[in-house]
């Protein structure tokens, strides 16, 4: 506790300076006045002699009574002015008492003021939090003993920040601080802590999942998109991560992206045993989403063309599946504009899967499936969430398909090639 020692040292220095400020004026030496007793005696004798002379002159009527009285007054005034003081007041003893009283008063007032307005209780709590950090860690992480109360969570966060300040960066400590901050509803601090942890361990799945939760609670569009990319990255390397799948399913469900929600819930269902209580709940959610998809299809134009696209991934490319991948499935006119006529975008997917394309997915009102007779279907796994082609992405195309305006057509597309920098 070097900082604490320094703080108390500063307090002591300030106390000494304040005491010196109070006591120094009382310790100054008084000016010593020398007294000459013989000179005073001579002046008094001269005074009496002159007084006798004035009386003699009055008796001999050389001066009047009024002049005599005035002369006596003047003679007394002159004597008083010429006499030196015979005593000086010795106040040194009194000054020492006053100085000691001032020091005591200063210390007492400062102590009372600090007791009522200072941070001594916070300092005590800080020391206690640091001492009990291992205990809080066991109760929070290993879930031994009673769950941490709100005050104990605050102390745990304080202890973790102290540990990080004294011991340097520690990815586990930063992750714990982020989780504690989320429990305290301090999501800004949580995201800052997760950023620190990710800077040291970019592929830590626990950090990515917890960070995604904080981003989802923050709720902005950019935060939700970032959370989806993080969770997709986790699932590429750990398809059985239930937390990541659950969060992705929640994102799609909240966006009413029923196709992606169904894909996520189906993937989640494969990670749960049939005897697990969550199995039936997930299956019910899949049925709900399936009904919503059916309602959307029924609401679409009955005379418009509809393509059910089965997307496969070539076994040779499974090892090259990029992190943070996004699946785009779109239709383009075989002979016409380069703009897609219908597009589906999935940030969570498990190939093979089925994707539906129809007029409701057109990017422009005049460019839709029903306005063209022949199309080509493309399935592309993007390295980001942009439909623009980049090197390293995986792609597959169908043959030219002649659209039937009144029937639902089945199409199969296999992703079988890697896009190079030349686009080949």
Mean pLDDT by 10 residues, the chain (424 residues): 59 68 59 57 81 82 82 82 57 59 70 60 56 60 65 73 73 82 83 87 87 84 82 77 82 75 79 82 84 63 74 88 82 87 82 84 82 90 78 89 80 90 51
Angle made by CA atoms 88, 89, 90, in degrees to the nearest 5: 110
Tokens of 285: 């959610």
Residue range 137-296 forms a domain whose CATH class is mainly alpha
| SS (HEC) of 245-287 | HHHHHHHHHHCCCHHHHHHHHHHHHCCCCCCCHHHHHHHHHHH
Residue limits of CATH 1.25.40.10 in the chain: 137-296
Residue limits of CATH 2.60.40 in the chain: 306-418
One DSSP character per residue, 172-236 reads HHHHHHHHHHHHTT-HHHHHHHHHHHHHH-TT-HHHHHHHHHHHHHH--HHHHHHHHHHHHHHHH
Give which of 402, 416, 419 is closest to 335, Cα–Cα. Answer: 402
pLDDT (0 to 100) of residue 413: 93
pTM of the model: 0.47
**Strands laid side by side in the 353-358 sheet:** 353-358, 306-313, 408-415
pLDDT (0 to 100) of residue 378: 92
Tokens of 111: 């102590």
Count other Cβ atoms within 10 Å, centred on residue 331.
28
CB 346 within 8 A of CB 371: no
- The whole-angstrom separation of Cα 100 and Cα 27 is 11
* Domain range 306-418, its CATH number among 1.10.287, 3.30.450, 2.60.40, 3.30.300: 2.60.40
pLDDT (0 to 100) of residue 120: 47
The DSSP H or E segment spanning 78 is helix 65-82
């Amino acid at each position: 506790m070097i900082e604490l020692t320094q703080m108390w040292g500063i307090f002591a220095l300030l106390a000494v300076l304040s005491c010196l400020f109070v006591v120094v004026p009382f310790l100054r030496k008084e000016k010593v006045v020398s007294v000459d007793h013989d000179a005073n005696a001579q002046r008094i004798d001269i005074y009496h002699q002159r007084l006798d002379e004035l009386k003699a002159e009055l008796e001999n009527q050389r001066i009047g009574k009024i002049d005599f009285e005035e002369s006596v007054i003047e003679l007394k005034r002159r004597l008083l002015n010429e006499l030196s003081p015979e005593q000086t007041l010795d106040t040194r003893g009194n000054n020492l008492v006053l100085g000691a009283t001032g020091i005591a008063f200063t210390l007492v007032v400062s102590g009372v003021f600090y007791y009522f307005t200072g941070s001594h209780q916070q300092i005590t709590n800080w020391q206690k939090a640091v001492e009990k950090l291992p205990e809080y860690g066991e109760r929070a992480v290993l879930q031994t003993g009673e769950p941490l109360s709100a005050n104990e969570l605050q102390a745990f966060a304080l202890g973790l920040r102290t540990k990080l300040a004294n011991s340097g960066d520690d990815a586990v400590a930063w992750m714990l601080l982020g989780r504690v901050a989320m429990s305290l509803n301090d999501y800004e601090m949580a995201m800052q802590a997760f950023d620190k942890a990710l800077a040291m361990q970019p592929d830590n799945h626990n950090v990515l999942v917890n960070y995604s939760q904080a981003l989802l609670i923050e709720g902005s569009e950019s935060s939700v998109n970032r959370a989806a990319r993080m969770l997709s990255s986790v699932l590429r390397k750990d398809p059985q991560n239930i937390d990541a799948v659950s969060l992705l399913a929640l994102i799609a469900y909240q966006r009413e992206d029923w196709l992606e929600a169904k894909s996520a819930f189906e993937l989640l269902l494969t990670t749960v045993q049939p005897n697990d209580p969550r199995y039936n709940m997930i299956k019910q959610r899949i049925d709900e989403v399936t009904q919503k998809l059916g309602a959307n299809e029924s609401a679409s134009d009955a005379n418009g063309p509809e393509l059910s696209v089965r997307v496969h991934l070539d076994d040779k490319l499974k090892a090259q599946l990029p992190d943070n991948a996004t699946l785009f499935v779109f239709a383009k006119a075989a002979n016409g504009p380069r703009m897609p006529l219908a597009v589906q975008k999935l940030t969570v997917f498990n190939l093979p899967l089925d994707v539906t394309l129809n007029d409701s997915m057109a990017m422009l009102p005049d460019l839709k499936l029903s306005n063209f007779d022949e199309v080509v279907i493309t399935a592309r796994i993007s390295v980001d969430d942009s439909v623009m082609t980049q090197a390293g992405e995986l792609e597959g195309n169908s043959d030219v398909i002649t659209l039937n305006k009144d029937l639902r057509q089945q199409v199969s597309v296999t992703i079988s090639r890697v896009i190079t920098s030349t686009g080949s």
